[in-house]
Amino acid sequence: MAISVRVMRFMKMKFVKRENISKNKEVSIRIIAILLAFVVMGILFAALKCNPISVYISMFKGAFGGSNPIKQTINSAIPLAITALGIAIGLKLKYYNIGGEGQIIMGAFGAALVAFHFPNMPATILIILMFASGVLFSGIWGFIPGFFKVKWRANETITTLMMNYIALKFVTYLQYGPWKDPSSLGFPKMPNFSSNAILPSVFGVHIGWIIAILLAIFVYIFLNHTKTGYEISVIGESENTAKYAGIGIKKTTLIAIVLSAVFCGITGVIQSSAIEQTLSTEITGGVGYTGIIIAWISNLNPVVSILVSILFAGLLQGGSFIQTAFGIPNSVASILQSVILFFVLGSEFFIRFRLSKGDVNENNDENKKVVNEV
C-alpha cells in the first residue's frame, strides 16, 4: 500500500508555467482549440438533425461566398479591427479599457454634432471636421477615467464601464429630446446625415477599411519603434522599473489611455457616417466589448487583429446566414460564437502552462528506496 501511494505521487500530474513557447506551437494550440469548438458544436447541430459539415460550409458561403457577403463581412470587420487596435494600446499598459462602448458613442456624437450643424459644407472639409470632432469628444471621454487612474489610482474597469452608461443615456436624451427628427411622425429618431457627410466607398466598401489598415500600421510602428511605445511597454511590465528608468509614468499613461479612447471614437465616426448615417443608441452593436476579446486573442498584435477581426466578422455573418438556411434559432448561432470564443480564450491557459508529471528528480533517496522495495 505504501509503495502504491509513493508510485501515485510520481504519476501525479500538475500544471507548470511555461518558460517559453515557440510561435508555431502557440498557433497550433489556438488552431486545435478552434477545431475542438467546431467538434462540440457539430454534436449540437447533429442533435438538431442538421448535418454539421453542411452547416459549416453554409457558414463559409454566407460570409465569403460572393461579392456581397464579402462586403458585408468587411463592413462588420472594420469597427471590430479599429476598436481592437485601441483596446490593445490600453492592454499594453495593463489598462483594462472597458469603456469602448461609451467612447464609440461619443465619437459618433462628435461626428453628428458637425454633420447636423453644417450640412451644406463641402464633403471633404465636413468629413475631416467630423473625424476631428469625434476624436476630440472620445478623447475627453477616455481622459476622464484616465485622470482618475493616474491621480487617485481609481479602478479603470469600474470607471470606464460607468462612462458607457453615461454616454448611452446622454444620446438617449438627445434622441428623445433636442435632436429628435421633427419629420419622424413622433418616432424617437434623429435626422439622417446629408449626403456630403457620408464616407465615400472604394471597391464597393466604404473607406473605413483603408483607415483600419493605416491605423494598424500606425499602432505597429508606435508600439514597436517609438520611444513612447517602448515606455508604455515598460510601464505595463513594471511601474517600478519605469520609475527607475526615469519614465514619466503619469504622462505616458494618459497618452496611452487617451489614444485608446480616440481609436474607439474613430470607430464611432465611421459607423455613424458610413453605416447608420445618423446617431442612435444602437450605434455600437456591442463592438466595444467584442474588441476586447479580439485584442486579447490577437495577443495585442495589430496585424493579427485585422485578420482575427475578419474571421470573427465572418463568424457573425455566417451565423446569421445559417439561421435562414437551416431554420436554426438565433440562440444556437449565438451559442456557436460563444463556444468558439470560450475555447480560444481557454487555449490561452495551455499557452501559458503545460501539463507535467511530478518531478522524479526530487527526493532522490526516497525514490531509490521505493525501487528497492519493488
Here the cell at position 212 is 483600419
At residue 371 the predicted structure's pLDDT band, cuts being 50, 70 and 90, is very low
State the Cα–Cα distance between residues 290 and 37, nearest whole angstrom: 18
Determine which helix (DSSP H) or strand (DSSP E) holds 14, and give its type and residue range. Answer: strand 13-17
Contacts of 212 (CB under 8 A, 6+ apart): 77, 78, 81, 82, 85, 306
Name the fold adopted by 51-327: ABC transporter involved in vitamin B12 uptake, BtuC (1.10.3470)
Q: What is the pLDDT of residue 168?
A: 97
Percentage of the residues of the chain whose pLDDT score is greater than 90: 65
pLDDT for 369: 43
* Domains in the chain: boundaries: 51-327
Pairing of strands 13-17, 353-357: antiparallel
Q: Report the C-alpha gap between 63 and 319 in whole angstroms.
A: 9
Q: Could you tell me the pLDDT band of residue 340, with boundaries at 50, 70 and 90? A: confident
pLDDT tens digits for range 32-52: 988 898 899 999 889 888 899
Task: Report which DSSP code applies to 194.
Answer: P
Task: List pLDDT tens digits, range 161-182.
Answer: 999 999 999 999 999 999 999 8
Closest CA to 108 of 187, 199, 182, 183: 199
pTM score of the predicted model: 0.88
Least confident of 75-79, 81-85, 322-326: 322-326
pLDDT at 281: 92
Is the model's pLDDT at 366 over the cut of 50? no
Distance CA 99, CA 138 (A): 10
Q: Percent of the chain scored above 70 by pLDDT?
A: 91
What pLDDT score does 368 carry?
Answer: 45
Mean of pLDDT over the chain: 88
Whether pLDDT at 358 is above 80: no
